[in-house]
Structure formats: structure tokens, C-alpha cells
Structure 1
Amino acid sequence: MGFNDFMKNLSGNRFTGLQGGRHDMAFMRSLQRDLKTKQTTSIPLNELQVIVFDLETTGFHPDKGDQILSIGAVKVTGRLVEDEYYSLVRFIEEIPPLVKELTGLDESELVNAPEPAEAIEQFFKFSGASPLVAHHASHEKAFMTYASRKYFRSPFLHRLIDTSFMYRIADPDNPYVRLEDCCEHNQIPVTGRHHALGDARLTAALWAVYVEKLQKMGVTTLSQVYERLATIR
């Protein structure tokens, strides 16, 4: 499958989660059990279902009051795109001007959006216990860790894979850090930048590229990715 076909598949059916209702704590408890027992490190990378996701936020520090504004995610196995998730997140304050300009989000869109706990619960129902993938994932990890504790009183247990794990092995001389630069370096057309679902789609395409590159190098599982990373200083 070529890149154009891959990107076309990214615009398929979109999961929007459940509407309304109280938090499904039975589901959250079941998810926690699944996450503790799920083994993913020995599954071939091209057969491993992952959830590639991105967050748009008001800033970088959830512990200092920054909040999630939108969540975008793509469920993908190898190059097969299976589903998508996107949700705005309720926010009743003024969006910081730089964030507003960068993302194109507007206060009027967010005031009637799902509450943060609801949007995140829906995301977890979409992702299940599958590993999560993000581009330079420390940002997403900080917010999901904070949200899990705040809204569900539980730790964030999902395995989180950073795309940098992949290109540090497969493309060690790659000087690029920004998502758009990494995509252009790999001939992935950059569209929908700074939109949570747009960035998730770009990251999913990047993930597919590096899964293929790693396979050609004989690195075929997450376990082998971690082993190879341990040798890189």
C-alpha cells in the first residue's frame, strides 16, 4: 500500500464514543486488569494493533492548570487503518491566543463539548488495552497520567511508545525533531497540522514507515526495539 492509499484510509469511519451517562467504573476496573496482564512486546510490529494519538492542550503543565482541548486517535495495525476517534473537550475559559492561532480552536466550539472525564473515558473505550503511540510522547504522557489520577483515581498503565524510539534505531542520522519535518523527511505529505486528529494521522503514517524500516533491519518486535535502544547512547 502506498502513502496516498494509507492517508486515504485515515479518513474512514470515526469513532465518537458513548454519549452522556456516568463514568463506567466497571469498564475502568476491567481495563486496568487487562493492562496489567496484556503482553505486547513479542507480537510482530506489523501485526501489533496500536492507537496513535495526539492531544491539543492549553499549555505543557497539567499540574499547573493546563487542560486538554481535543483528542485525536487512529487505530492501526501495520499499514491497516481500522478506526479513528476525535473529540473536543469542554473548556469554558479563554483559550491562550497562541494556542488559538496554532490550532484554530475557538471557545464557542468547546463550551458544549464533552466534559474532560467523559472525553477521556471514551478515548479509553476506543483504545482498550492496546499500546499507545505518540510523537515525542512526554507531553501526552504527562496529561494522561494527570487525568487518570484526577478523574479515575487510577494510574496510567497503557504502554506508551514514542516515535523517537523507532527513528533512533532505523534513522539515527535523522536531524529532525518536529513532526512535520520527520514526515517530510519520509515523503509523507503534511496536512492537518496542529489539529489533534490531523497530527494523529501524520504520526500513524510515520509509525507505518518506521515499522517497515525496522522490519528490514531485523527488528520485528517491541522487545527487540527496547533491546536495540538499550545499546544506543
Structure 2
Amino acid sequence: MGFEPLIHLMKELHGKINTSVFGAAQGGQNSQQAAFLRQLQREIKAEETMSIPLDELKVVVFDIETTGFFPDQGNDILSIGAIKVKGCEVYEDEVFYSLINHEESLADDIKNLTGLSEDELKVAPPASQVLLKFFEFAKDHTLVAHHATHEKSFMQHASWKLFKTPFKHRIVDTSFLYRIVEPSMKFVRLEDWCEHNQITVKDRHHALGDAKLTADLWSIYLSQVKNLGCRNLRDIYERLSHL
């Protein structure tokens, strides 16, 4: 989330993560994993992100596919996909994608929607391992998601369930930008916003595919909020407070 101490921490722990933490992750909860994540969370100083110029703001745009909408009622994350963006530049070759182990049967509508199969999910790595690798990928970047309430609720639940630590990362919602630039537009679905901006919709309801579509939207609307005078995230939040 924009913090030198976090970068140094990641470098120092990189070898240990690959050998001990990730190796032990097959067993589910692990004290080393929890300690690593708690240390990472302690290094996060979200307020520093607020003043970074938008041209220099580094974000990880991410998306998750899930078995439903309510993690506190037993719904699980099935996959996570992400892509890095700096300012308005989308880094197509800096991506993250992983399925997450799920042993239970999938509802037919989830299988049809996501294209995921029970067989591939049963051999996927556990959630604890995938989330730690995702946090390592994200490093000092701010997180971004399309209508981020869904992602935030699942990440908060997973952080506490797996690591007994709160989820402290800032997640910026792309709708913040839409509301500033086009307040009269009431689209909700990702594909509707994409079509409105002449973005070709492909790989919809695939976590990485949706992350890439969201990144393209973020890039377009970030450029437009800059043209409206927003210099950083603080300006964006200030503008939102007056809408």
C-alpha cells in the first residue's frame, strides 16, 4: 500500500515464505502464516496512499469468484485474479491468478456462470496459501475492485478465519470514479460499464478476466478524474463527500 517498510519486509521474508510458510500451507491454518500476515498488516500505513499523485499511484486491480454472496453463511472464494496498474498504465504481463481448493459440490448456476469444475477445485491449493501469495504479489500497491463490497467482505472474513488477523488493506471502489465523472449513469454490471466505454467484454466471470476489464475501466476513469482536478486519492474522497 505504498510503503517502503513493507517492501523491505517482503524481500527479507521472500525465501522463508517459499520454503516454510507456503510448504506448510497444505495443512490449513499455520502459525507461521498468521505471524507473517500480522507483520505485513502492521507495516500498512494506509494514509500514506492518500497523498500519492494519481500518475504515480500503484494499484492491484483484483476480482474473486465465489460460491455465493455471504461469507459469514459459509460461502467460499473459488478463485482470485489480479493485474497491476500504475497511474493509467495497465501492466498486462504483471498478473496473478489462482484457483482455491474447494471440496464441496458446486451449485449448477455457479458452474455455468464461472466455468469452474469441481475436479479442478479439489486439486487447487488451499485458501491460506493462495491469499499469502496474493498479498506477496500486491506488495505496496493499493487494492482496487469493481463494486468492492463483495471483495472486501470475503477478504475480511478469510483473513480472520485463516489467520486470526483483521484485513487492513485499503480497497478503492471503481464506482468512486464513475460517480465523480458520470454521476447520472446508473450502471451496475461490469459488462455494462465496459460496453459504455467501448471495451470488448471477454472472459467475463473469470477472476482474471474480470480483473483485466476492471483495470481498463480504472485507467479510463482515473484519467478523467485527473482532468476534473483530482490530484490524489484524498481529492477523490473529498469530491465524493460533496456529491
TM-score relative to the length of structure 2: 0.85
Seen in structure 2, the aligned counterparts of structure 1 residues 226 and 37 have a Cα distance that, compared at 3 Å, is closer
Match of 1:13 in 2: none
Deviation readout 1:174-227 (Å, 9 max, x if unpaired): 231100000111111111100000000000001000110011111121000000
Q: Going by fraction, where is helix more abundant, 1 or 2?
A: 2
Note the C-alpha offset of 1:83. 1.1
Is 1:107 paired with 2:110?
no
Match of 2:198 among 184, 187, 207: 187
Structure-1 separation of matches of 2:90 and 2:99 = 25
Aligned residue pair count: 216
The answer to which of 166-175 and 52-61 deviates more is 166-175
Deviation readout 1:44-83 (Å, 9 max, x if unpaired): 1121011100000000001110000000011111214161
Match of 1:7 in 2: none
Deviation readout 1:109-128 (Å, 9 max, x if unpaired): 10110101111111111112
Note the C-alpha offset of 1:27. 3.0
Unaligned runs of 5+ in 2: 1-16, 26-31
Please give the secondary structure, in 1, of the residue aligned with 2:69: coil
Match of 1:217 among 215, 220, 228: 228
Please say if residues 48 and 77 of structure 1, whose CA atoms lie closer than 8 Å, have aligned partners that are also in contact: yes
Please say if residues 102 and 118 of structure 2, whose CA atoms lie closer than 8 Å, have aligned partners that are also in contact: yes
Please say if residues 130 and 158 of structure 1, whose CA atoms lie closer than 8 Å, have aligned partners that are also in contact: no
Please say if residues 38 and 129 of structure 1, whose CA atoms lie closer than 8 Å, have aligned partners that are also in contact: no
Please say if residues 146 and 174 of structure 2, whose CA atoms lie closer than 8 Å, have aligned partners that are also in contact: yes
Match of 1:128 in 2: 139
Is 1:139 paired with 2:150?
yes
Structure-2 separation of matches of 1:48 and 1:224 = 13
Match of 1:175 in 2: 186
Please give the secondary structure, in 2, of the residue aligned with 1:24: helix
Please say if residues 136 and 164 of structure 1, whose CA atoms lie closer than 8 Å, have aligned partners that are also in contact: yes
Please say if residues 34 and 165 of structure 2, whose CA atoms lie closer than 8 Å, have aligned partners that are also in contact: no
- Aligned AA (1:20): G
- RMSD value, Cα: 1.6
Matching of residues 15-164 of structure 1 within 5 Å: 18=18, 20-22=23-25, 23-36=32-45, 39-78=48-87, 79-81=89-91, 83-164=94-175
- Aligned AA (2:48): Q
Structure-2 separation of matches of 1:38 and 1:231 = 20
Structure-1 separation of matches of 2:56 and 2:46 = 19
The answer to which of 20-29 and 33-42 deviates more is 20-29
Structure-2 separation of matches of 1:92 and 1:39 = 40
Match of 2:219 among 197, 205, 208: 208
Please give the secondary structure, in 2, of the residue aligned with 1:54: strand
The answer to which of 57-66 and 40-49 deviates more is 40-49
Deviation readout 1:4-63 (Å, 9 max, x if unpaired): xxxxxxxxxxxxx95533453443133112213661111111210111000000000011
Runs of 4+ in 1 over 4 A off after TM superposition: none
Structure-1 separation of matches of 2:71 and 2:184 = 33
Structure-1 separation of matches of 2:23 and 2:215 = 29
Please give the secondary structure, in 2, of the residue aligned with 1:56: strand
Match of 1:10 in 2: none
- Aligned AA (2:36): F
